[in-house]
Structure 1
């Protein structure tokens, strides 16, 4: 049987200026390519603002990226679309479609695609279903969390998300809880399939904690907490910092970058824990196992998630998790050995951490929480979903 030909839109995808940006999407697509079942082309539209905002160093770096390249074995096209930072989110799907449509028509005329895929619900989803309609193809949209919880409720984009979900041939959600949230927005529940994240099992595994601490220049004695993620209010790092004040012997390692950093540093100083917080910035993905293995507990008090890759990767390294009792976490952490739940509250977080530190679970037992996760399994399920929609 001929291989499926799939065109996938992914506005979050790593590139030379941001190699960690959407790395989980890239890992998935690399596994799809390794399967040999799909001729895959990824289109990663890059937003650039009008003059003079495009002169900012951040955007100059993006503008200098190649418009076509092979990224870790995956063909990636990077057309530009007009972006209005902070205020123009409602226009992004239309701008992406205008940038992608002529490319997709040309590629489809040369070698027809079987399906149009979107790796996020917004802005990728509305652009993908309109593109699929233009080419007469089925379409699939994947929901990951914030694309539903934010864009699915925001004024100016909620209607676009709902219309795209209703028009798509098939939908994917990373957790059952997210699927229910999608249905609550008016998306057809019978078309939503569960598609959990993957995991690089050769990379994310328990490493020697003492050696990991030494590699990161962390204290050899005393508990270490870690949190990984963008420094934004939704991830809740401020609550971990405040909890640290109740854990006098602990060190907190923060891996991530983002607009909340200055406020977080101020809060750490206000609660007198600044000297016990290590700021690592954006850590390369292949260095995260060191961070996670160095920690006694991984803490991520998110306001919302689909199924956080950081939870899965921490568990794979044998590090128990403290997080909020949101649906994806409740589905994952079904054994108290693997972690505890706490609200976005310093006292609750400190109590959950203290309970885990008092009776540390064996790392091998924690790692069993994600025994079924792999990028190979993730890719096989995705290819099967695409094949069904394409009538294969």
Structure 2
């Protein structure tokens, strides 16, 4: 029996059902395998009192300390998140908060390995905890945790040191593996661990557009409304394509600026910010789209890319992260320069000469949650065997 303690600051809760749904799905897949037991620790970072009672944090502060979440035993310990420190003390505060909890957990769940599903602050914390409890640790890199925290002055040293000290490392793409090696992490310990997609839910649906009440060409974009995702570029691109509609699923601090851009361009009748869309509601939206466009400046390997392809929808993306690993055939879409002109040209080309949805879907066939879970278990089991 392999007993895995999954640690993730990126995990859904009642206040944030879309937060880290891919970590949740990966963990559920691992727990479903035979000879495997999983317990989840999903820490919640809160500022000191009285800031922790502010409306922004109140929901998080009231979450249960322990619960059963979709059949998984989940602990939600609090750790101190000091504002204005740029993350400098996050990992130390996290390790300090987790040590007594894991001491108690270990009495009833003798975990063999700790699996951190995000690199910061989870990674440096689990390295310290692995030493404390005498078990191997694995850390997974997903994108911003390396591209931001791995380069930010306050946290880069901690990220690099954790990468060198961990028993094993995972990453979402070959491109991310190269980024990790460039930071000085040992390439022989890094395993590429591709995401999965629920092929039964994300699939072509010829009637999806009519069900949503949309007539005519439709472009969809999915992602947080933050500068890195480049929604402004896609809005400008669609503004150049008369008669084409755009729906953007996501929320974030750029919402007001993006709405102002839409109003300034006079395309409010065609371009709509949908706000936060529950993950369970994404399949019909992606199936209804003729193109999914996301102009991210950096990615590991975006789940939205793979979910769109499984839905039979071609994608237009820049050459970021694992883009070339996903777009391995012309039917899947286009990799273009990160500019409105390039996005408009590629979207127009795909609308004029669309690929068969079945051919697009084939590009996503290798991304399954079963394969994701089996790869993860094999990786963790090898770390345990090596330690023995």
Map of 1:45 onto structure 2: 43
Map of 2:211 onto structure 1: 215
Map of 1:280 onto structure 2: 274
Map of 2:24 onto structure 1: 26
Rounded to whole Å, the distance in 2 between the matches of 1:341 and 1:247 is 19
Q: Secondary structure at the match of 1:275?
A: coil
Q: Secondary structure at the match of 1:253?
A: strand
Deviations 1:22-44 (A, max 9, x none): 00000011111111332111110
Map of 1:253 onto structure 2: 247
Map of 2:347 onto structure 1: 353
Cα offset for 1:77?
A: 0.4
Deviations 1:146-202 (A, max 9, x none): 100000000110000000000000001110010000000000011101100011111
Cα offset for 1:6?
A: 1.2
Rounded to whole Å, the distance in 1 between the matches of 2:55 and 2:154 is 29
Please say if residues 317 and 363 of structure 1, whose CA atoms lie closer than 8 Å, have aligned partners that are also in contact.
yes
Rounded to whole Å, the distance in 2 between the matches of 1:185 and 1:363 is 39
Rounded to whole Å, the distance in 2 between the matches of 1:103 and 1:251 is 50
Please say if residues 172 and 192 of structure 1, whose CA atoms lie closer than 8 Å, have aligned partners that are also in contact.
yes
Cα offset for 1:86?
A: 5.3
Please say if residues 234 and 343 of structure 2, whose CA atoms lie closer than 8 Å, have aligned partners that are also in contact.
yes
Give aligned pairs, total. 386
Q: Secondary structure at the match of 1:249?
A: coil
Rounded to whole Å, the distance in 2 between the matches of 1:183 and 1:247 is 41
Rounded to whole Å, the distance in 1 between the matches of 2:261 and 2:211 is 27
- Within the candidate set 258, 269, 294, 2:263 is matched to 269
Q: Which runs of 5+ in 1 are unaligned?
A: none
Cα offset for 1:236?
A: 0.5
Q: Secondary structure at the match of 2:130?
A: helix
- Within the candidate set 80, 93, 96, 2:94 is matched to 96
Which range moved further: 129-138 or 49-58? 49-58
Q: Secondary structure at the match of 1:35?
A: coil
Please say if residues 43 and 77 of structure 2, whose CA atoms lie closer than 8 Å, have aligned partners that are also in contact.
yes
Q: Secondary structure at the match of 2:298?
A: coil
Q: Secondary structure at the match of 2:32?
A: helix
Cα offset for 1:88?
A: 4.1
Map of 1:340 onto structure 2: 334
- Divergent runs of 4+, >6 A: none
Please say if residues 301 and 343 of structure 1, whose CA atoms lie closer than 8 Å, have aligned partners that are also in contact.
no
Rounded to whole Å, the distance in 2 between the matches of 1:337 and 1:86 is 46
Map of 1:169 onto structure 2: 167
Rounded to whole Å, the distance in 2 between the matches of 1:15 and 1:327 is 28
State how 1:158-237 maps to structure 2 within 5 Å: 158-208=156-206, 211-218=207-214, 220=215, 222-237=216-231
Please say if residues 244 and 273 of structure 1, whose CA atoms lie closer than 8 Å, have aligned partners that are also in contact.
no
- Within the candidate set 123, 136, 159, 1:125 is matched to 123
Q: CA RMSD in A?
A: 1.2
Cα offset for 1:215?
A: 3.4
Deviations 1:78-130 (A, max 9, x none): 00111124544121111111111111122224442211111011000000110
Cα offset for 1:214?
A: 3.5
Q: Which runs of 5+ in 2 are unaligned?
A: none
Q: TM-score, normalised by structure 1?
A: 0.96
Deviations 1:48-85 (A, max 9, x none): 11233222223111111111111111111000111124
Please say if residues 17 and 62 of structure 1, whose CA atoms lie closer than 8 Å, have aligned partners that are also in contact.
yes
